[in-house]
Structure 1
């Protein structure tokens, strides 16, 4: 008989008819059987890991209400706001216009605004330079405002701020993950019963004498949590911040210069040798 293992030929069998078809690894379309068929034999995804950075905070429309004992010269006022690596290192209390204490500090408001801006920017689904790996910086300035402004109590008065400008930016490290799940296999085999419809998978690693076999699980998709598809971008927003000084010597370019429709081709449509992977047919 023919040594199918040495020839790297997977088998597609039909229990009901007793027939057996031999197909080369490059032309047998069993890739959709891998892990229920998603994303396929070849996993090909983009990964973006992002951090937000913050420059010098600017308070717009700040004023000191005139009252007895209030600070006469605003230049004498100093706010010690320290946010280090995404964590508040200072505590600046806030009060409502009616004098009631706020549950949030100024630092917490700033961090909340930064995180919301970063998340919105990531949700835009940007893929830079057609997926070319690299480090990209995206300016995303934030303006914080609230009805009545921000009110900070002081020992001898108070400070009111209409808006707070946060010169923020995102640092995005973009990479591509491509994995051929069959590259270490001597052969891959799918056996389907047309009576029961059950499918079994068998494979042997290169250089091994052991064949592993198991039933093919049927993929059950959750409409609220769809499976990842090839070509999608996995985005991770880190809690830590980057030093915005990294952008000091960079020249900004319009976002449209690096954002354009992605010309993506699923690697499952062709193998790494350029041979087409076709649907197996009788």
Structure 2
């Protein structure tokens, strides 16, 4: 009988301990901060988010700076969607430039995606392309700064910005030494990616936030304003004098908007 009572006591104690741990885990899951998935655009790469990522990490947000393939809207969106699918808990998707088209297409099928943040980014509607949106309003000067395209075996073309024009065109408010490194390490985008039509946009179902610079030479300010208003942006921040890489030159402001979006959509 004594052994039975001892066994019963141990069993009850273990059960209570497990119940307590499960409750703690559930509470932690409920209060856990969302993972922020950062998606760079054309002529950039993951390290362009370093300043933003540092700010977010210091505030306890898990961060993934995805290596956007820059091969095509559907291809790249599927890649980002796979990252989200294998990331635990809620997610905030953040896209820069062409990366905005990617998150618009990657974010419409996963209920764990809570918000979209567009950083000097395209927010296309179904059927629209990045190249058409960038040319819809005057002010963009990217075309003349592009190098001769690199011809690929599959018939596609890779596009780069000429290194001696990169700073003025892409990163005018970034220190010259840093913009020179960005020019040297830029990732090319396929011409197909800029001309592929977008699918159903996630911004029609998910809340969105926008931030961009008034001195953006890749996507005219008027185009960025139009897309933010059309998407029903919860908050739009215009950084006066900022270039296309506002996340590099003004990481604190970009991180603050991402945190605002995360807090506004917390459950």
Q: TM-score, structure 1 length as denominator?
A: 0.23
- RCO higher in structure (CA 8 A, sep ≥6): 1
Q: TM-score, structure 2 length as denominator?
A: 0.23
Higher helix share: 2
